[in-house]
Amino acid sequence: MDLDEEWAQIREGLHFGQLFKGTVVRVPRPGAIGIFVDIGLSIGGFVDVLLLPEQSESWPAEGTVTGFEVWWADSRKQIRLKPTDPQYLREDFTDFVNRFRPSWPSEVGHPV
């Protein structure tokens, strides 16, 4: 199976808000990009800088095991995640969602 087929198959089974326990595997540029997360699938997970606390010292370090939920998945062959632990989530997450993704609460549980 090639990567495109594998991604299509994995993506079919994903739902917004789906929970995963993951391990932070890489924090390439703290405060600038985001973090890469292993959630036990062949396709990697990623948390965008916009969802993490403003202060990179508050980001989960490499090796941290914590909860994540599916925030987005598109053609990039990467599962975009949102931390479930409030200490790893931007402080104004509710306001952020209201401004930039107000439909988020109603999307939870729906296929990506």
Summarised one tens digit per residue, pLDDT across range 13-26 is: 999 999 999 999 99
Rounded CA gap, 106 and 1, in Å? 34
State both tokens at 15: 């739902």
**pLDDT at position 75:** 81
Q: Compute CA distances 60 → 32, 37, 107, 112, whole Å.
A: 14, 10, 26, 25
Strand-strand pairing, 45-48 and 79-83: parallel
**pLDDT at position 65:** 98
Ordered by where they begin, the domains of the chain are 3-97 (2.40.50.140)
Summarised one tens digit per residue, pLDDT across range 37-68 is: 999 999 999 999 999 999 999 999 999 999 99
CA atoms within 13 A on the CB side of 92: 8
**Partners of 81 in beta bridges:** 70
**pLDDT at position 1:** 66
Summarised one tens digit per residue, pLDDT across range 73-102 is: 988 889 999 999 999 999 999 999 999 999
